[in-house]
């Protein structure tokens, strides 16, 4: 478990991470969403023990991270622009990581390199941006650490590769004690992989929610009432977060139990009623809108 308390980091006059208190549970994919400059990288660099927090505390499995190799053995950090030694090949990097991480699996590395079709003897400097991303993911997964911290890792991967990586994460989570923490500015990239999402804005954590819980509490319902019916008395009885009307079709995002909501709406004898899945974007809109943020300015 990763736990931060009032974590703060400043660069001169700029507060990059502001008073973040957060718990990241094991065995779940944690997504860190925010625009460029929101503080995602700074947060991950503190999590990786690169930066020392100015205030607050940070523990991974009960251990401090900064200058603590014992703690650092438990995670692998994939930076937004991964570093490779000058003129090195994937094999040379793998050998180096093999010396650093006792959990490192050479077999897994070889298997993944084969699956991804990357040349182990070729100089990394000749790789494309996407290939370098793939290589850093392979090296990270081969380290077999408990945690993996990914900073904009999916950026630069093609959709097929992105899906493959997601599958790898999923299978690792199924097979071993594995917790990925993924930072991205792209909401849709994390939509189908994250269990928990934290929304960062200007260094502060606007929200951190378990997606299943959010989805259980907020519902998107499309409903068509008879043409002479005014549904206002019904919607006033509901906690409507968003109400959109197109012709006779009402699209409502409502907080509450799905069954209770549908019972109230049924009182208007709707000719059509259907529940739709909520996108991450809609969850943020509904979750943060009440707190006075214009979410569209944050996530776009």
Partner 1 sequence: MTSKISFIDILTEDLKRRIWPLALSITGFFFALPVLALIKIEDHLNSLKMGYDILQSLQVSFTQYTIGNNNYFAITGLFIMAGLNALTGMKYLHSRHETDFYGSIPMLRTARFLAAYINGILIAIVPFIFMHALTAVFGYANKLVSVSGLICGAETVILEVTGFILLYSFIVLATILTGHSAVSISGALVLLFAPWFYYAVLTGYARAFFVTLYDTYDKVLWYLSPATFFFNIIKGRSISYTAYNLLMALIALAVSALILALNLYLIKIRPAEAATKAMAFEKTRPVIKILILVPVILSCGSFFESVTTTNDYAWLAFGLIAGLILGHSAIEIVYEFDFKACLRHIPSGLIAAVIATLVALFFVFDVPGYDTKLPREESIESGAVYVPGINSGAYYYDQYSYEDDTYDVQGSKEMEGMMITDTADLYTLAKAGTVWADKNRWHGNDNASDPENLTEGSEDYTQISIYLRKPSGRVFKRNYFVDLKDPENYAALRRIYDTEEYKKNTYDIYHMNETDYASRAQLLTYDTGVYSDNTSTLTEAKIRGLIDTMKKDTSGLTLDYIAKEAPIGEVSINVLDEESLYAGSTYTVPLGYVYPSFTETLSLLKEYGVFVNREVTAADIDFIKKTIWNEDYTSEETETITAAGEISKLFPDLVNQAYYTVNYALLSVSDTVDYEVHFNQRLFTGLKNIDDYEARFVQFYYMKKSDAGEKQ
Q: Which residues contact partner 1 by CB under 8 A?
A: 11-12, 45, 48-52, 67, 69-70, 72-73, 75-77, 79, 81-83, 85-86, 96-97, 99-102, 149
CB of residue 95 to partner 1, shortest distance in Å: 9
Which lies closer to partner 1 via its Cβ, residue 61 or residue 158?
Answer: 61
**218-224: strand order across its sheet:** 239-246, 249-255, 218-224, 272-276
Q: Pick from 129, 139, 127: which is nearest to 101 by CA? A: 139
Which neighbouring-strand residues pair with 229? none
Which lies closer to partner 1 via its Cβ, residue 77 or residue 250?
Answer: 77
Q: What tokens appear for 299 in the block?
A: 């996530």
CB of residue 57 to partner 1, shortest distance in Å: 18
Distance CA 254, CA 114 (A): 48
CB of residue 41 to partner 1, shortest distance in Å: 9
Which lies closer to partner 1 via its Cβ, residue 65 or residue 261?
Answer: 65
CB of residue 50 to partner 1, shortest distance in Å: 3
Which lies closer to partner 1 via its Cβ, residue 38 or residue 51?
Answer: 51
CB of residue 283 to partner 1, shortest distance in Å: 31
Distance CA 156, CA 57 (A): 33
Which lies closer to partner 1 via its Cβ, residue 101 or residue 178?
Answer: 101
Read out DSSP for 239-298?
A: EEEEEEEETTEEEEEEES-HHHHHHHHHTT--SEEEEEPPPHHHHHHHHHHTTT--HHHH
Q: Which helix (H) or strand (E) covers residue 23, if one does?
A: strand 14-24
């Amino acid at each position: 478990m990763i736990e931060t308390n009032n974590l703060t980091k400043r660069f001169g006059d700029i507060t990059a991470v502001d008073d973040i208190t957060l718990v990241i549970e094991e065995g779940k994919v944690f997504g860190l969403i925010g625009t460029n400059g929101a503080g995602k990288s700074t947060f991950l660099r503190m999590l990786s023990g690169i930066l020392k927090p100015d205030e607050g505390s940070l523990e991974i499995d009960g251990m401090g991270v900064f200058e603590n190799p014992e703690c650092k053995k438990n995670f692998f950090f994939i930076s937004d622009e991964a570093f490779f030694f000058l003129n090195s090949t994937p094999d040379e990097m793998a050998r180096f990581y093999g010396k650093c991480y006792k959990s490192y699996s050479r077999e897994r590395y070889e298997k993944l390199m084969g699956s991804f079709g990357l040349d182990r003897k070729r100089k990394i400097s000749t790789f494309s941006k996407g290939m370098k991303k793939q290589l850093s993911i392979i090296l990270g997964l081969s380290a077999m650490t408990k945690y993996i911290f990914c900073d904009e890792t999916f950026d630069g991967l093609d959709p097929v590769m992105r899906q493959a990586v997601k599958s790898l994460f999923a299978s690792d989570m199924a097979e071993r004690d594995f917790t990925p923490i993924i930072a991205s500015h792209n909401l849709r990239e994390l939509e189908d992989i994250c269990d928990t999402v934290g929304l960062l804005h200007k260094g502060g954590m606007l929200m951190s929610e378990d997606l299943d819980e959010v989805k259980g509490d907020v519902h998107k319902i499309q409903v068509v009432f008879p043409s002479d019916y005014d549904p206002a008395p019904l919607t006033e009885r509901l906690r409507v977060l968003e109400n959109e009307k197109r012709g006779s079709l009402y699209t409502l995002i409502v907080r509450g139990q799905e069954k209770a909501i549908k019972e109230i709406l049924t009182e208007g004898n709707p000719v059509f009623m259907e529940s739709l899945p909520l996108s991450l974007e809609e969850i943020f809109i509904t979750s943060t809108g009440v707190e006075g943020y214009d979410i569209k300015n944050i996530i776009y």
